[in-house]
Chain A
Amino acid sequence: MATVSKQARKKIGALLALGAFAGLLLLPLFLSLPTGASGETPAPAAPAAPAAAKASDAKPVEKSRDVWYKTEGPVVGAPAPKTTDSLKDYPRYNFESRVLLWVGLQQHLYYGSFVLAVPIFCMIVEYLGIITKDRALARKYDQLAYDFVKISLTAYSLTALLGGIVIFTFLTLYPTFFGYLSSVFRPVMATYALLFIAESGTLYIYYYGWDKMREGFLKWVHVSMSVILNVIGTVLMMLANSWIAFMQSPAGVDAEGRYLGNVWHVIHTTLWNPINVHRLLGNMAFGGGVVAAYAAYRFLTSKTDEERAHYDWMGYVAMFIGVCFLIPLPFAGYWLMREVYAYRQQMGITLMGGLLAWLFIIQAVMIGALFLTTNYYLWQGMERMRGAERYQKYIKYMVFVLITCFIVWLTPHTIVMTPAELKAMGGQQHPVLGNYGVMSAKNGAINTIITTTVLSFIMYQRANKIPTVRWAPLGTAFLFGLFTMAFINIIWLAIYGYYIPANVRVGLSVPQVASTLSCLFIGVILNSFMLKGAKDTGPIAWGQISVRSQYALIMLATAFTWMMGLMGYIRSSVRLFWHVNEIMRDNSPWAFTHTIGFGANMISFNVLFFWVTILFVFWLGSLGVKKVPVTVPAGQKVPLPASSH
């Protein structure tokens, strides 16, 4: 009894500690925002003057109108500075300042995305470890979560260092612009800094407390800490997003750029939420890709079968989580673009139909490559399962569908041509291929690609299993009907779009997406229920997968990285010659859009730089592993981790 009460006391103590911890960590957020939101500057010490005299001396508060919200507010900030091409506003080295900032920001973003995504993975995997009844598998999940966080810890230091470099670069190369931005975002930047400290503290306690909190109730406290860690991380990301969203679609200021005292308006610009959703999903997909590449690297350099089995499994889990977030990513991107068009139609046209349209074609190629690679990996993964042979015969048809859609997906609307070429083709658009360059065809293509990927995943789920539930034949028939009609519906809507006006056609994308999501949710959930208690045709032979599949994982990660760099460049360049769109003009000598070739080279340089440095992080992560002896009990059902903490 005494033991029970002691345990209960421990539990209450742990809960209280966790609550106090969470409260303290989030305190800066609550303290900072209301002050900023009121728009009032702290009152100076009041002189002992009569109230009547004060009232007569007081100046009337100037009011102005918000450029986006159209509400009136007191002018509490200075107008956006009008810069000139001078050393005062744009101090410089003998080099293009914008390029220096580009490299610093992109690297910071890569590492920031990685350290934001990996703790979310840890949370998911650690939670899976807690709820899994199979103890060997639970231990395996726990080790995997620990491996993830270990990698992110080194990356976290690099993120902070890169953040410092970015701030110094801003201060030294763009002081006037940075001064203006920090005057508008003063409370947000202070909150950001405090939250960063909170994030660091939580991450270190989470990592170093792993062994102390590995059993029973304390394990729940530990996983709760990962929730806190991720809440802080996500808020950090959203605050940083508010700066770039403000630069693209400003709000909370008047036409002269004067801050109107409502910090929520400055944060909550029209593009803020679409960017938040898109970035969160993108970061997760990117993080999954990087961890999968890490696992592939460790797989390829493994010396034993046990190691290969562990890293094969790790690569699969990371890829799976990454792809779960990749699938909704195009829809989030679509929402962002829709909001861009709603905000400024011209901005949307510059992005998708004008100056930057060719970059979108490159993006289409990358997205297609990502989905092709994902499917390829899943098909390769089926080779390590006995019983998967019965699905092999369908793969060739899926390849055909994927390639056809991929070709449609990357067909440009128009291409740059010489007058002679234009004449030979008979116009700006090719008489046949031009039909595939429009949104109707592309929506059909990408939705078909995603639905095929979902089908591949369902095949993968069923590869070594035979459903045993009574309703299995009916369930299988329903899956057949669902996918068949979804494909038909998606393609029919794509064709239908050619025959109706643009304003109606735009709406067709919603049922197309809903068809894909129906397959994803209904299909995967139904299949999972069908496979409950299913008969195994043999265990998954982890580690017995082709080397090609591991290169596919590396390809996946590289494509994610390249695409992130590309999309960041596109989103940033659409502001053209504005620091803050229509508010503060960029008068530096570099206020022009680079050529596509230069942009692509810069993106490639950033990707290479990131991968070289992250390899260093991987190498650091592997140092600790080598010191620990590998212990693999015989007769284990699942491959055991090759390392232990």
Chain B
Amino acid sequence: MADQARQVSSAAEVSTGTKIAFAIGSLIVATGYFILLDWSLMNMQGLDFFYMFRK
């Protein structure tokens, strides 16, 4: 119980600045993930994801 309370407090202790940093970091990671996903799935179908930018 005490351990749980300590964990809750440690989770709550994260400062706003850290939260913003986490959010920005996760947005960057997610952006990379979706670009990779889009490109690889189009590539698998034999299609060019960057078609518009190349033409």
Chain A positions within 8 Å of B, measured between CB atoms, are 466-470, 472-474, 477-478, 480-482, 484-486, 488-489, 493, 496, 499-501, 503-504, 507-508, 510-511, 514-515, 518, 533, 535
Q: Are A489 and B11 in contact (CB under 8 A)?
A: no
Establish whether residues B19 and A500, one from each chain, have CB atoms under 8 Å apart when the complex forms: no
Q: Which 9 A-B pairs have the closest CB atoms?
A: A481-B26, A477-B22, A485-B30, A481-B30, A507-B47, A511-B38, A489-B34, A473-B14, A468-B7
Main secondary structure of the interface of B (DSSP, over half): helix
- In the bound complex, residues from chain A placing their C-beta under 8 Å from that of B7 are 468-470
Residue of B nearest to A477 (CB): B22
| Assembly CA distance A583 to B34 (angstroms) | 46
In the complex, A325 Cα to B14 Cα: how many Å? Answer: 38
Q: How far is the CA of A535 from the CA of B8 in the complex (A)?
A: 8
Contact A474 B22 (CB under 8 A): yes
Q: Given the complex of chains A and B, what is the CA–CA distance between A511 and B19 in angstroms?
A: 29
Q: Complex Cα distance A466/B47, Å?
A: 44
A504 touches B51 (CB 8 A): yes
B37 touches A480 (CB 8 A): no
Q: How large is the interface on B (under 10, 10 to 19, 20 to 34, 35 or more residues)?
A: 20 to 34
Provide the bound-state CA to CA distance between A467 and B11, in Å.
8
Q: Which residue of A lies closest to B38 (CB)?
A: A511
Give the complex CA separation of A508 and B51 in angstroms. 12
Pair A473/B42 contact, Cβ less than 8 Å? no
Interchain CB contact under 8 A, A500 and B37: no
User: Does B23 contact A511, Cβ atoms closer than 8 Å?
Assistant: no
Q: 1/0 per residue B3-40: CB within 8 Å of A?
A: 01001101100100011001101111111011001100
Question: Residue A510 contacts which of B4, B11, B41 (CB distance < 8 angstroms)?
Answer: B41
Is the Cβ of B29 less than 8 Å from the Cβ of A478?
yes
Q: How far in angstroms is the closest Cβ of chain B from A357?
A: 26
When distances are taken between beta carbons in the complex, the residues of chain B under 8 Å from A499 are: 52
Q: How many Å lie between the Cα of A501 and that of B51 in the bound state?
A: 9
Please indicate which of the listed interface residues A466, A507, A515 has the most CB atoms of chain B within 10 Å of its own CB.
A507
The minimal Cβ–Cβ distance linking A213 to chain B, given in whole angstroms, is 39
Please determine whether A485 and B41 come into contact, CB atoms closer than 8 angstroms. no
**Contact (Cβ within 8 A) B26 A480:** yes
Report A-chain residues with C-beta under 8 Å of the C-beta of B44.
Answer: 510
Give complex CA distance A518, B42 in Å.
16
Residues of A within 8 A of B27 (CB): 480-481, 484-485
Closest to B39 in A: A511
- Answer whether A510 and B22 are a contact pair too, CB < 8 Å, given A468-B4, A468-B11, A504-B48: no
Q: In the complex, which residue of chain A has the Cβ closest to the Cβ of B18?
A: A473
**How far does the alpha carbon of A477 sit from the alpha carbon of B26 in the complex, in Å?**
6
Contacts of B31 in A (CB 8 A): 485
